Amino acid sequence: MHAPQFRDTHISLAHGNGGRLMRELIEGLFVPALANPQLDTGADAVSLPIPDDRDLLITTDGFTVQPLEFPGGNIGSLAVHGTVNDLAVSGAVPRFMTLNVFLEEGLEIALLRRVIDALAAAARASGVAVVAGDTKVVGRGDCDGIYLATTGVGFRPRGVRFALDRVRAGDRILVSGPIGDHGAAVMLAREEFGLRGDLKSDAASVLPQAQALMTVPHLRFMRDPTRGGLATVAHEIARATGLSVRLSEAQIPVHDSVQSVCELLGFDPLYLACEGRIVAVVGPESADAALAALHRVAPRAALIGEIGEGSPQVILATAFGGQRSLDELEDDPLPRIC
């Protein structure tokens, strides 16, 4: 049976009413883009094969970025990368994903196609199959075009565990590449400040980075620094361990364009979201090996700090030889970022 041709140009409330128009939207737009053997739009639930020698890991996330499209990606590719990255930094290989789509009445179908095509391409590149989903349509003004909600499933070798309770004083901190690219790119895409630039989001799967780090002994912890950026991950480590986190400003990679935008607008790249980076903590005896492993897949990875004794705080050694305390993020400097 051939999929129906989908020729509508805008979303209407009828596309979410469970009838013919909804069926045509799903079978004519979503299914061709997401097609895989596990996707059965006529089933209420699907079964997934679970390897006997692996632990099943599951994560869930929501995506509300504005604008929906930005240099380096859109809300569709971002949803895949955000989901698979949460699994990857937990030591899992992502395999399956569910997708809930919330559409605003009046949304252009051409924009929806671009989003779903980007989502499907990112899923294929990440080795992830979209196996189930749901679609809802809300009235004009009840959402900003498209909201996405996902659940990701991956499998991790038995006995592998990365957690904050493994972090010790003396451990080293690494980041897999320049920080703040996603936050700066979305900020410029909004054009709220009258600025334009060629910045691109770093949104991408971090699975190659995570798998590279997992070959190194004494890997304690990994996190992808999304909302709140590197500084927020550092505070998470300090708060959970009761130890101090000491970062070196001179060692933290930041693209010149990101630094310039931040200086102009009064932002701090340490607090801007990344969508394709890993912050990792490793034992001191493995720091050099971890950096070398990362460099094979992330050439601008860097050792940026260490865990110290003392009260739980985050201290930045500045490029000018001083130091300052980094406050925990309170107000959101850039809302609706992911």
Q: How far apart are CA 256 and CA 248, in angstroms?
A: 17
Residue 122: pLDDT over 90: yes
pLDDT in tens, 52-91: 889 999 999 999 999 999 999 999 999 999 999 999 999 9
Angle at 317 between CA 201 and CA 228, to 5 degrees: 35
Regarding pTM above 0.85, the answer is yes
Is the domain spanning 13-157 CATH 3.40.640.10? The answer is no
Strands (E), 105-254: 129-138, 146-157, 172-175, 219-223, 244-248
Computed over its alpha carbons, how large is the radius of gyration of the chain? 21
Strands (E), the chain: 54-63, 69-70, 73-74, 93-104, 129-138, 146-157, 172-175, 219-223, 244-248, 279-282, 302-308, 314-317, 323-325
Query: In this structure, are residues 35 and 59 in contact, taking their beta carbons and an 8 Å threshold?
Result: no
Domain-by-domain residue ranges, the chain? 13-157, 164-325
Query: In this structure, are residues 60 and 150 in contact, taking their beta carbons and an 8 Å threshold?
Result: yes
Architecture of domain 164-325: Alpha-Beta Complex (3.90)
Q: Mean of the per-residue pLDDT values for the chain?
A: 92
pLDDT in tens, 131-190: 999 999 999 999 999 999 999 999 999 989 999 999 999 999 999 999 999 999 998 888
Q: How far apart are CA 319 and CA 323, in angstroms?
A: 9
Q: CB-based burial of residue 297 (10 Å sphere; 0-12 exposed, 13-18 middle, 19+ buried)?
A: middle
